[in-house]
Amino acid sequence: MTKRAVSTCHLCEANCGIIVEHDGNQILTIRGDDDDPLSQGYICPKAAALADLHHDADRLRRPVARTSSGEWRELPWDEALDQVADRLAAIRAEHGRDSIALHLGNPTIHSYSALLYGYVFRNALRTRNFFTSNSVDVWPRLLTSYLMYGSHVVLPVPDIDRTDYMLILGANPAVSNGSLMTAPGAKKRLRAIRARAGRVVVIDPRHTETARLADQHLFIRPETDAYFLASMVHVILTENLANPGRLAELFSSPDVLQQLRRLVADFAPGRVAPAVGIAADDIVRLAREFARARSAVCYGRLGTCIQEFGTLTSWLIDCLNIITGNFDRPGGAMFPRPAIDLLRLAPFFGQRGHFGRWRTRVSGLPELSGEVPAVALAEEIETAGPGQIRALITHASNPVLSLPNGARLERALNSLDFMVAIDIYKNETTRHADIILPPTFGLERGHYSLVFSALSVRNGAKYSPAVFAKSAGARHDWEILLALSRRFLAHSGFLGKLGGAALDRLAGAGPETLLRVALRVGPHRVSLADLRDHPHGVDLGPLEPRLPGVLAASSIDLAPAPMVSDLVRLRATLAGRVHAGEQARSDNGTRADHAGTGDGAAAQAQNGDSELLKLIGRRQLSGNNSWMHNSRKLVKRGDRCSLLIHPSDARARGIGTGDRVEITSRTGAIEAPVEVTDEMMPGVVSLPHGWGHHRSGIELSHASAHPGVSLNDVTDDELFDELSGCARYAVSVRVARVTGERV
């Protein structure tokens, strides 16, 4: 008998509503839910992958341990959990609590139960070596919010459905459907801006899928967004176009606009233009358009974070929105009012805001609210001494493919005394584990968008019960985390009667009870029963002004001291780029093409070597980082892991579409097929992120048949945003044709 379930596709930030037809065991069809108030029937190809992942024969269903011969054997749950706790407790007893590290991957954030009970496990470990995917993704944005508004969970999102002017940098919402902007069906929303006579402008080194929908696209050289934005702010302040309105009452200093004007004085459009690759006239025009629009919003995402000045870029985006009054008002950058208030709950889950209270042992990188930068993971394992990482726990993460210089990390993992992975696959990282503990996944567990409802372009709430009961002997992620917490504390001698009673209560309550309480104390007083009665979701209305109430501080700090200090570095690098550009024009007898459509000579000069190209990543609609490539529905055709290169750069190297090329950086070399296309800016090449499934020992049959190569085998863990410690993913490379037949 065919059954029908209303659920959510929680494989990415969009959280699209879906209708699942099944026979009790097998998924028959998955389609979009027309009655979901946010997604309104939209789904992308990833929704279909839920069936592939649910039925995947490669998925682990029972704990496995690696034997001394390298083989794997199944273990009963209790035996596996006991072994993990015994080993961790012994390592802590001998080497101290910081000898154990915890790394949480991107899928963790899609499981509200893992987030809630992961806090319990993290508190049980009490290690300073706590890493997440945040520091290779969103960290500059989080740090900006902490420094400006008092908390890293106070995050403004674009009011895309009401704006008249959207300026997009380093983001591709047509593919991501929003990132730090939960906006399913983003293409439709972007088209709607233009349909209401609004304007969409994209600034990006690639003519992306979003750029194809825009009114205008301008190429920008990678890692120069901060110069461009500082110049925009410069124009607005020097031409007296600033109009913060009521926001001025919330500034921490009455003369902060004058201070900001002085801070960006060196970033006049004429000086910035050669470095960024955008004409001075275009910068001035965009600044005036933005300031004079009825409503406007500047939105930057991954590309603006994972670069040399990621934190300054995030800060300048907010400055642009604030000084023009496009902040906390319809059509600008606004703060959602989710059914669960993350700001109020943050202290209860160890997320009290602080920055730089301690630093990593080797490179001295700063913590942010208890997390340390993941670029330090390999060196913290390799470097001997007190606090050296000797044991690693990963949850839903694959850092070998997702962190810079993955090959180095892979070598480091082999030197660990012990490693445990909570994961459903033997992948490039978990194959190094001593024990793998597989949780339920997807439609086997209930879903509430704890984080992404707080980033949604429209307020709402939705709970999706599990479609399928967990199989006999299976365990949910929260059950694994809680069981490990109890055993570890008991073996370490820290459990005690009070702690044991607390864990008993958490076990008895389960995540649904915690969810029920969090909803009841939230701003909308929604009950879990209400959400069960409305399986498609509850619409809680459009975004509304929330200042000053949403602030975790008493005011908006428009010029935080760390940003002001880092501007010294920004000015110095701009001076160097300007000099390099002038030298290149002198040597080549050419003028830099500010529109970014020239022969690439000036762009290459910015790298300091005419043979070098700047490599950037890109996102693909049918995938999310490294964890969906074992789906046949998503990886239907051959090698989608291709290098995009501009025709002028291809001609200079004798490269044509279909050739294979070697891509070489300081950290390594990889080979990939080429696509020659004018969608790339001259001097810039692009390779998608998350591939590289060729390593031995993984058990991902479909991914292994279409392995691609890992971008992170040539990225550099010694490159990071010096202010935040966030990884940089733009790296200088050499590209050369590999002799032989075309693919």
Domains detected in the chain? 3-55 (2.20.25.90), 80-136+341-449+463-510 (3.40.50.740), 139-338+554-561 (3.40.228.10), 599-737 (2.40.40.20)
What is 547-599 written as a DSSP string? TTTT-SSSSB-SS-HHHHHHHHHHHHHHHHHHHHHHHHHHHHT----TTS-S-
Q: For the chain, what percent of residues have pLDDT higher than 90? A: 85
Q: Which helix (H) or strand (E) holds 437?
A: strand 435-437
Query: In a 3-state reduction of DSSP, which class is residue 302?
Result: helix
Spatial contact of 713 and 666, defined as CB atoms under 8 Å apart: no
Please tell me the pTM assigned to this model.
0.95
Q: Would you state the structure tokens that stand for residue 269, as one six-digit string? A: 């459009």
Q: Would you state the structure tokens that stand for residue 152, as one six-digit string? A: 């890293």
Q: Would you state the structure tokens that stand for residue 191, as one six-digit string? A: 């088209």
Spatial contact of 673 and 643, defined as CB atoms under 8 Å apart: yes
**Pairing mode of beta strands 418-422, 130-132:** unpaired
Q: How many angstroms from the chain centroid is the CA of residue 5?
A: 30
Mark 72-110 as b/e (b = at least 16 C-beta within 10 Å): beebebeebbebbbebbbebbeebeebbbbbbbbbbbbb
Q: Is 218 left (phi over 0), alpha (psi -120 to 50) or beta?
A: beta
Q: Angle 29-32-36 (CA atoms, 0-180°, nearest 5)?
A: 135
> In angstroms, what CA-CA distances link 536 with 5, 15, 446, 486?
10, 12, 14, 37
Instruction: Of 249, 214, 400, give the one whose Cα is nearest residue 327.
Output: 249
Instruction: For the sheet with 297-300, list strands across it.
Output: 216-218, 199-203, 165-169, 297-300
Rounded-to-integer distance, Cα 398 and Cα 250, Å:
42
Query: Which backbone phi and psi does 469 adopt, to 5 degrees?
Result: -70, 145
Instruction: Of 299, 297, 329, 324, give the one whose Cα is nearest residue 236.
Output: 324
Rounded-to-integer distance, Cα 743 and Cα 740, Å:
9
Q: What is the pLDDT of residue 499?
A: 75
Tell me the HSE value of 489 on the side-chain side, using a 13 A CA sphere. 22
Q: What is the pLDDT of residue 638?
A: 56
Spatial contact of 397 and 104, defined as CB atoms under 8 Å apart: yes
Which residues fall within 8 angstroms of residue 143, CB to CB, at 6 or more apart? 152, 311, 314, 355, 368, 723, 724
For 675, counting Cβ atoms within 10 Å of its Cβ (0-12 exposed, 13-18 middle, 19+ buried), the class is middle
Cα-Cα-Cα-Cα torsion 465, 469, 475, 481, nearest 10 degrees, comes to 10
pLDDT in tens, 415-431: 999 999 999 999 999 99
Q: What is the pLDDT of residue 594?
A: 34
Query: In a 3-state reduction of DSSP, which class is residue 173?
Result: helix
Tell me the HSE value of 228 on the side-chain side, using a 13 A CA sphere. 32
What is 2-66 written as a DSSP string? -EEEEEEE-SSTT-EEEEEEESSSSEEEEEE-TT-TTTTT---THHHHHHHHHH-TTS--S-EEE
Q: What is the pLDDT of residue 493?
A: 76
Query: In a 3-state reduction of DSSP, which class is residue 420?
Result: strand
Q: What is the pLDDT of residue 492?
A: 75
Instruction: Of 269, 271, 264, give the one whose Cα is nearest residue 581.
Output: 271
Instruction: Of 6, 4, 17, 5, give the one whose Cα is nearest residue 453.
Output: 17
Q: What is the pLDDT of residue 491?
A: 82
Rounded-to-integer distance, Cα 201 and Cα 572, Å:
29
Tell me the HSE value of 634 on the side-chain side, using a 13 A CA sphere. 25
Rounded-to-integer distance, Cα 693 and Cα 703, Å:
6
Cis peptide before 548 (omega within 30 of 0): yes
pLDDT in tens, 131-151: 999 999 999 999 999 999 999
The owner of tokens 């403004």 is 156
pLDDT in tens, 167-203: 999 999 999 999 999 999 999 999 999 999 999 999 9
How many helices (H) and strands (E) in the chain?
23, 28
Rounded-to-integer distance, Cα 453 and Cα 19, Å:
20
Low-confidence ranges of the chain (pLDDT < 70): 348-352, 496-498, 579-610, 637-639, 741-743
Rounded-to-integer distance, Cα 427 and Cα 295, Å:
46
Rounded-to-integer distance, Cα 360 and Cα 389, Å:
11
> In angstroms, what CA-CA distances link 104 with 399, 407, 423?
9, 19, 11
For 241, counting Cβ atoms within 10 Å of its Cβ (0-12 exposed, 13-18 middle, 19+ buried), the class is middle
Q: Which helix (H) or strand (E) holds 148?
A: helix 139-149
The owner of tokens 């001609």 is 651
Query: Which backbone phi and psi does 17 adopt, to 5 degrees?
Result: -75, 140
Rounded-to-integer distance, Cα 684 and Cα 221, Å:
8
Rounded-to-integer distance, Cα 631 and Cα 701, Å:
10
The owner of tokens 């983001």 is 171
Rounded-to-integer distance, Cα 381 and Cα 626, Å:
23
Residue 544 carries which side chain, given as an amino acid letter?
Answer: E
Instruction: Of 288, 305, 315, 338, give the one whose Cα is nearest residue 148.
Output: 315
